[in-house]
Amino acid sequence: MVDWRKQWVRNGGVSLAVFEVAGSAADDSGEHRPTVLLVHGWPDTHHLWTHVAPALARDFHVVAYDCRGFGESDRPEGDAAYRLDALADDLFAVGEAVSPERPIHVVGHDWGSVQAWEAVTQPGAESRIASFVSVSGPNLDQLGAWARKSLSRPTPRHVKDVLAQAGSSAYTVFFQLPVVPRLFFGVAGSPTLWREFLHLIEGTPRANVIVGDTLRADMISGLRLYRANIRAKLADPRTRPTSVPTLELVNERDIALRPAIFDDTHRYTQRLWRRSTPTGHWLPYTNPDHLVRSASDFIATHASRSTPAIAARVDRTRVFGTPHPLSGKLAVITGAGSGIGRETAFALAEQGCELILADIDLAGADETARQSKALGTQASPYELDVADVGALAAFAESVRDRHGTPDIVINNAGIGLAGSVLAATDEQVDRLLGVNLRGVISGSRVFGRLMAERGIGGHIVNVSSAAAFTPQRSLGLYSASKAGVLLFSESLRAELGEHRIGVSAICPGIVDTHIVSATPIAGLPAAEEETERRRLDGLYRRRGFTPDRVAREIVDAIIGNKAVVPVTPEAKIGYRIYRFTPWLSRLGARQKVVG
């Protein structure tokens, strides 16, 4: 539990209970630390921050308070006392009391974020608020403007987004009824039921939900927030800009707030960073470690206490204009030195991802990193042989320690082997399976563990091939390696689904990359092998399907969480033939293509 030290702050006629983490005001040398003010929402109190405050207190002076109407603070009568301007005044009053000489850093959740938005959009707010981390709470004026704009040009997408948010917000209508909600929470507002509710809707561990003795009264008193603000703000939105640096943590599984409502935040925020994860509404209870790390990095950067590594992590979440779906994600790509890997790096760079680029050819990875940086992203090259299980495990640890746990992993590295199965050497077979199959399995395992331990989801892409479902007499070993990747990926997707980690198998067909020019052809003399390689390479070039088109399919698979993606027309046709008329595939396999 947290060692809170209580004091009182008065704003007008309202007394606010303020809680400081004991011993967090100064470091061991006596230097005063930056002050972080934690602001809760409905129906919480300062206890919401039980799992967050101690971790933040290792680096910052941490203060929380019970907002008016909650916990130990006063509960003024009437709805007018709960308007957002009054709540913003409370925030400034507490900030002035706990850090009179330096601006504060604010972390707000739910209605705590809503009232903090009201504060940071006040004229001159930047002189008292150094940074703002917004969690599960929009600016109500911006929300009203977004709804009006969406309905003024009602495309199917806009209508869908508005209807989805209206459905998620339906409870607010119930909350504004005159008597019924008071009666409901008078009966249902028990800590046990509240813990069960959060466990049911987003899997929050029951033991993580820490509430005060005032929960039932807080639920009822807090209803005035809805009556005092929702209708007025949405009916007459008055958007104002802010120059306070803002980090917006968007929870894609938020039961109350759809991600689309945050699409226009950049229009009103001069310095905006954004991080989206497949997490739920009550992040401080369910995923406190993710919140602590995100907030700590952001606050440290804007308190001039950051390291270059922290600054790089924060920079990749910066939003310039309309945010992309993958903005701020950390992506690892193997086989990134050329072909599909390089083009996928460029496609993710355009999405605003930070890139970790691995390849057995370090010079190729370096060149991909150089070109990716020209697109405005952070990119770090690494030398890696994915067939070396120990090296891959060490690489994963290095990525975690230097850059953080990746959000996206693309196991793309692969090699070819054609010709007779009987003529292939054991060394060729071992190398093929080591890179194409074991490399994918190892990469998925080491990074999958990191993603599962972090607890906020992620996505793994394994590059298979159309050869996985189009048997060919001259590609039996290669097809076996890629079929293994395909079925492994589908099985892994089922296993990792409970961790909200998506897995996609990408199955290109004939794509113009350099893999053919380096593919051994078993059973042919050296001179004939080189001639055959040139012939096949020419065929692939004439086909003209370039790797950037595969990269676009990979990005779409990540965004749409697709399971299996055949790429190229022949791959899509072959996939359906193998599924519905496999005998045709077997007939086709008898045709001699190589040699």
Residue of 530, 521, 408 whose CA lies nearest to 457: 408
- Residue 456 has φ and ψ, to the nearest 5°, of -125, 20
Number of C-beta neighbours around residue 532 at 10 A: 19
Closest CA to 348 of 369, 362, 367, 366: 369
Out of 478, 540, 575, 578, which one is annotated catalytic? 478
- Asked if residues 454 and 440 have their Cβ atoms less than 8 Å apart, the reply is no
304 vs 313: CA distance, rounded Å:
15
Q: Is residue 579 within a helix (H) or strand (E), and if so which, with residue range? A: helix 569-580
Strand order in the sheet with 4-11: 4-11, 14-21, 61-65, 35-39, 104-109, 129-135, 246-251, 272-277
For 176-203, what is the HEC assignment?
CCCCHHHHHHHHHCCHHHHHHHHHHHHC
Rounded to whole angstroms, how far apart are CA atoms 103 and 303?
Answer: 10
Structure tokens belonging to residue 436: 């194409």
Q: Which of 315, 326, 367, 321 is nearest to 349 (CA)?
A: 326
Cα–Cα distance measured from residue 456 to residue 203, given in angstroms and rounded to the nearest whole number? 12
Which residues, including other chains, have CB under 8 Å from residue 521's CB and lie 6 or more apart?
418, 419, 529, 532, 533, 594, 595
> What is the chain's alpha carbon radius of gyration, rounded to the nearest angstrom?
28
Cβ distance 347 to 554 under 8 Å?
Answer: yes
DSSP state for residue 253 in the 8-state scheme: T
Does residue 478 have an active-site annotation? yes
Q: If DSSP codes are grouped into helix, strand and coil, which group holds residue 299? A: helix
Question: Which tokens is 475 given?
Answer: 């590609």
Query: Which residues, in sequence order, are bridge partners of residue 8?
Result: 17
DSSP state of 54: H
Mapped to the 3 state alphabet, what secondary structure does 65-124 carry?
ECCCCCCCCCCCCCCHHHCHHHHHHHHHHHHHHHCCCCCEEEEEECHHHHHHHHHHCCCC
Place of tokens 């507002």: 189
Structure-derived torsion over alpha carbons of residues 434, 438, 439, 444, reported in degrees to the nearest 10: 180
Residue 503, CA distances (Å) to 8, 206, 235, 351, 457 in order: 51, 29, 43, 19, 11
- Catalytic site positions: 478
